[in-house]
Structure 1
């Protein structure tokens, strides 16, 4: 782990030295989306009962850096994200740390497009408005993706992105008698406002 952190610091320091322009700042905003399906197992029906999650709003806040060389930039971020989903009679809440590493290009004036992997660490997942209990997700760390467009006006930046996931990450009921599972993968739109120091 220490070697990995050293390599990451060395990489970003090297990029920062080579970059024609480097920015650091804060960002935050709203996200709107949902996790995957809720599957309620039913002894009388092997297929069970599958309920699609309904989108709800959430939020995110964190830090970003941006290293630009000849109109192409690398933008690593570290974000705290709250994602909410509604499943008919209760809500599912996930708190996670997102670390997207986006590669972008300035396409026209202040407009840019960007895409890249997003590393996610689940801090907490819980159900609200129900007596059902949910256990931990299968994997604490997963990899997804983000893609979108941005607009930079001086120190202010505006972003619209879509976030999805590459692999399954299921959370199961804490009590065996409840017998349900939730696909915790995010599928959401992200709207952000940033300020570069």
Structure 2
């Protein structure tokens, strides 16, 4: 149900007023990391905690997009499958998700354009690799971040470079309640996104 509502928000609002519409495929690489890892424990009444930022790693994305031109500007909704990996000192954190950015863009100089807008994230799977730690599901299935960047359109081919950031944290947690120890990871990433697109 949530997925259907998200798709409705993206597409229905632009269909009626669109003057020109195009559709295509896109994919590429993303380079970034999820948020802070915190581990904590309590031994003999003493509480200790430590924090660690993840190391940026390369992932990938692939999906579809539409572009609707309205009054000289364009609206570009996308539906992307994204895989992101983050390296922490004791393990790797793998995140699979659906991204649905809805970008407002403007052609500024010849084939060059700029675009920005909200990006909805739906977590499909999050897991820890290379460790015995178990992790629970994230707090929120859907969160909202933002994307901004620039693109270059050369006929049917397009090139995009964007930055994605977050408006809110979205924690996944795990640990051993009996041993009074645990951890949290902020699953909302900050990343650079490089894409190649093809308009059908």
Same fold (TM over 0.5): yes
SS at match of 2:132: coil
Q: Would the alpha carbon gap of residues 23 and 52 (structure 1) be closer, same or farther in structure 2, given more than 3 Å must change?
A: same
Q: Structure 1 stretches of 5 or more lacking a match?
A: none
Matched, 1:87 2:88: yes
- Matches for 1:134-173 after TM superposition, within 5 Å: 134-173=135-174
Q: What is the aligned partner in structure 2 of residue 32 from structure 1?
A: 31
CA distance in 2, matches of 1:153, 1:183: 38
- Deviation track 1:86-123 (CA, whole Å, cap 9, x = no partner) reads 00121001100000000010000000000000011000
Tell me by how many angstroms 1:146 deviates.
0.3
Q: What is the aligned partner in structure 1 of residue 183 from structure 2?
A: 180
Q: Structure 2 stretches of 5 or more lacking a match?
A: none
- Matches for 1:5-44 after TM superposition, within 5 Å: 9-16=11-18, 19=19, 21-43=20-42
CA distance in 1, matches of 2:175, 2:41: 17
Query: What TM-score, normalized to structure 1?
Result: 0.91
- Aligned-CA RMSD value: 2.0
SS at match of 1:134: coil
Query: What TM-score, normalized to structure 2?
Result: 0.90
- Deviation track 1:99-154 (CA, whole Å, cap 9, x = no partner) reads 00000100000000000000110000000011111100000100000000000000
SS at match of 2:17: helix
| Number of corresponding residues | 194
